[in-house]
């Protein structure tokens, strides 16, 4: 189901989210449906008004290589390098910002059967950092813009 997106300056976007303790399948589907309809490459639960530590990404679908991913109770456990990208945000339309992020991150998250870790690089790493920020109440406006 496509949900309404919460827009800045709604204070809900500044609230850190609670861990998920129940099955997130329906919420994950709604996040993916809403992200594709927006159309974006990532979307976090607070962006649809839900207090839950979950986000979705699909960094390749606009290039014809779909790879929908769901991350429950995510946490960056390691990072390295630095990259600068221009980032947009579905909750802050028409406000792109050049932001520095790690070039690679190791993300721990709840998988289907257990907690797992996976390494992401390049644009995928930046997207994960962006969406994880949303779960902590941080927006792209809070990062210094890189010239």
Among 66, 24, 30, 23, which Cα is nearest to 47's? 30
What is the tally of helices (H) and strands (E) in the chain? Answer: 2, 7
Among 12, 97, 77, which Cα is nearest to 47's? 12
145: annotated active-site residue: no
- Alpha-carbon distance of 17 to 53, in angstroms, equals 5
Rg from Cα positions in the chain:
14
- Residue 46's DSSP bridge partners are none
Q: Which of 80, 87, 117, 131 is catalytic?
A: 131
- Alpha-carbon distance of 50 to 29, in angstroms, equals 13
Q: At 48, is the secondary structure helix, strand, or coil?
A: helix
Residues marked active site are found at 131
């Amino acid at each position: 189901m496509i949900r309404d997106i919460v827009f800045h300056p709604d204070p809900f976007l500044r609230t850190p989210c609670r861990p998920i303790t129940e099955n997130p399948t329906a919420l994950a589907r709604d996040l993916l449906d809403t992200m594709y309809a927006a159309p974006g490459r990532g979307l976090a639960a607070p962006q649809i008004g839900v207090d839950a530590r979950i986000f979705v990404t699909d960094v390749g679908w606009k290039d014809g290589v779909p790879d929908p991913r769901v991350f429950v109770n995510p946490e960056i456990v390691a990072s390295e390098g630095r990259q600068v990208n221009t980032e947009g945000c579905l909750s802050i339309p028409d406000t792109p910002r050049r932001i520095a992020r790690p070039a690679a991150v190791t993300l721990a998250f709840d998988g289907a059967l257990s907690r797992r870790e996976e390494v992401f690089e390049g644009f995928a790493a930046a997207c994960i950092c962006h969406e994880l920020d949303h779960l902590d109440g941080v927006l792209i406006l809070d990062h210094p813009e890189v010239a």
